[in-house]
Structure 1
Amino acid sequence: MKVIQTFLLLFSLNSFCFAQQNPSTREMDRINWMEFAEFVPEKINTVLLPTGTLEPHGVANNGADNTTPTAMALELADELNALIAPTLNYGITGSMANYPGAFQITEEAYRPFIRDILKGLSRNGFKNIIILNGHGGGQTAVLQEVAGEVANELGVRTLVINWWSYASDVTMEVFGEDGGHAGLNETAYIQAIDPSLVHPEKYTEDMTTAYPQNKSWSAVPFPSSIGLYQAGQGFPNFDEAQAKEYFEKVNTKVLALIQDTIRKWDLAGL
């Protein structure tokens, strides 16, 4: 009986210690203020901020640019010992803003809003602010500029990652194609997260247009909900195994970039 009691006591102590080292949740909008204060910044100084927008994505959900970085943050947070800020779901949509269900936030509104979000994360004690961006176009430039300004102004460390561009080699490795906006790269990543958000039976070739080379033409709205880097690509003909492989390899590559960047920041004493 004493042996069992001793084991139970040790198990309880170990569980208590473990609980003290890990928050009950990684999501900032699910944690309470007392637990937040316990962990930030003493035990956690990294935050992941998913950013995206609402716009058409071929046969995937309009919120694909939000679904992807949110899922990525959930996958990476434990490995990075990071918290996850609420996803910024509205963005600078651009040439697809007129499609059904799309939303457009002007740069004049978006720029000061994202700036205040980054400042708020800094004020709350985060040293490393990692933006997992799910939407390109003009939003990319604004995020990079504002993140750099806030980093220099407040002495925090910021990293903006456009996952689809950074992982373009993974797209070619897994599928043998370059992908594109709502191409098989984005669609496969969504498929791995939630297959119910992808409807390949709705796909038609008329939904695709190859992006112009060397800015040789421009159209607003963009004539198709799928913009391809290479003509003739983009059909969601991957299988479930490929989608999962892509999801895992993209996450691994993004994780390595974040870890390496933080390590080098630390080595430089920044």
Structure 2
Amino acid sequence: MRIQDMNWSQVEARVKEDDRCVLPIGSVEQHAYLSLATDTILAERVSVEAAEPLGVPVYPCLPFGMASTFAAFPGTMSLRLRTYLAVIEDLLDSVYRSGFRRILIVNGHGGNTPVNPLLSEWMNAHRDTSVKLHDWWRAPKTMAKVQEIDPAASHASWMENFPWTRIEGAPIPNDRKERIDFAATARVDAWRKRERIAEGNYHGLFQRPDEDMLAIWQVGVEETRHEIEHGWH
């Protein structure tokens, strides 16, 4: 259930019966030939599809994350670490005031994972809560499915090329890209990194058949739903 389809009194009534909610977080950054909002699109969609049968409210995805590594690519948006942590803390405070006590953060961007220490501190200050950070695309079962199909998978490669992350009229190559030198790209600024990674794919094919993508998606939705249902205390 998208919380945008609820009014405030419905939320007030809902939390008296069920104090779970889902907060997706994403990023707007280069994804080679795919949408700049790939991480945001996927985090919100997997959250909504996972939560729908359960009736658990899903907030709109926080679209902006920490993406300084891609700052040289036009269209990329990035928040500073201190800004991002403050935003996440404010959002957690807000859902807490609304009565939610079990909060699943569904993350679509690896660069957002530095929020983990903040979550620990926040729960220490709100001891009646349980917060989980779920990196949906690299959760065990989902990543196992990716590896089963093709272990050469990475940022902006085929593993993020879903029907809903493609850009109409933007051709996608059929070839396979060699693995980038991760160490070399990690020690330089975003502009030199752009020179070294070219269009942005880190490793592997740019696309695979939709049947492969939908198989991964089904596992991702089911695994996210399991996180909503289980393991809170």
State the TM-score, normalizing by the size of structure 1: 0.75
Q: Contact 2:28–2:65 (CA<8 Å) still a contact in 1?
A: yes
Counting only pairs closer than 5 Å after superposition, residues 103-252 of structure 1 correspond to structure 2 as 103-137=77-111, 139-141=112-114, 143-155=115-127, 156-166=129-139, 167-173=142-148, 175-187=149-161, 190-191=162-163, 194=164, 196-197=166-167, 201-203=171-173, 210-212=180-182, 218-221=187-190, 222-223=193-194, 224=197, 225-228=199-202, 231=203, 233-236=204-207, 238-252=208-222
Aligned length: 225
Across the aligned residues of Structure 1 and Structure 2, the Cα RMSD in angstroms comes to 2.4
Residues 152-203 of structure 1 deviation map (CA, whole Å, 9 limit, x = unaligned): 2112100001122213212012x2224111121111xx32xx2653767243
Q: Name which structure has the greater RCO, CA cutoff 8 Å, separation 6+.
A: 2
**2: CA distance between counterparts of 1:170 and 1:206?**
19
The answer to whether structure 1 residue 47 and structure 2 residue 21 are counterparts is yes
Shift of 1:258: 3.8
| Distance in 2, Cα, partners of 1:101 & 1:38 | 40
> Which of the two has higher C-alpha Rg?
1
Q: Contact 1:46/1:128 (CA < 8 Å) preserved in 2?
A: yes
Identical-residue share of aligned pairs (%): 19
Tell me which stretches of 4 or more aligned residues in structure 1 moved more than 4 Å: 204-209
Q: Note if contact 1:60-1:199 (Cα within 8 Å) is conserved in structure 2.
A: no
Corresponding residue for residue 51 of structure 2: 77
Q: Which amino acid aligns with 2:26?
A: G
Structure 1, unaligned runs of 5 or more: 1-25, 266-270
Task: Give the residue type in structure 1 aligned to 2:93.
Answer: K
| Alignment match, 1:33 | 8
CA shift digits 1:44-94 (9 cap, x unpaired): 311111101110101210000100011011101134431011211111112
CA separation of 1:178 and 1:252: change in aligned 2, threshold 3 A? farther
Provide TM-score, normalisation by structure 2.
0.86
What SS does structure 2 have at the residue aligned with 1:129? strand
Distance apart, 1:128 and its partner CA:
0.8
Unmatched 5+ residue regions in structure 2?
A: none
Shift of 1:251: 1.4
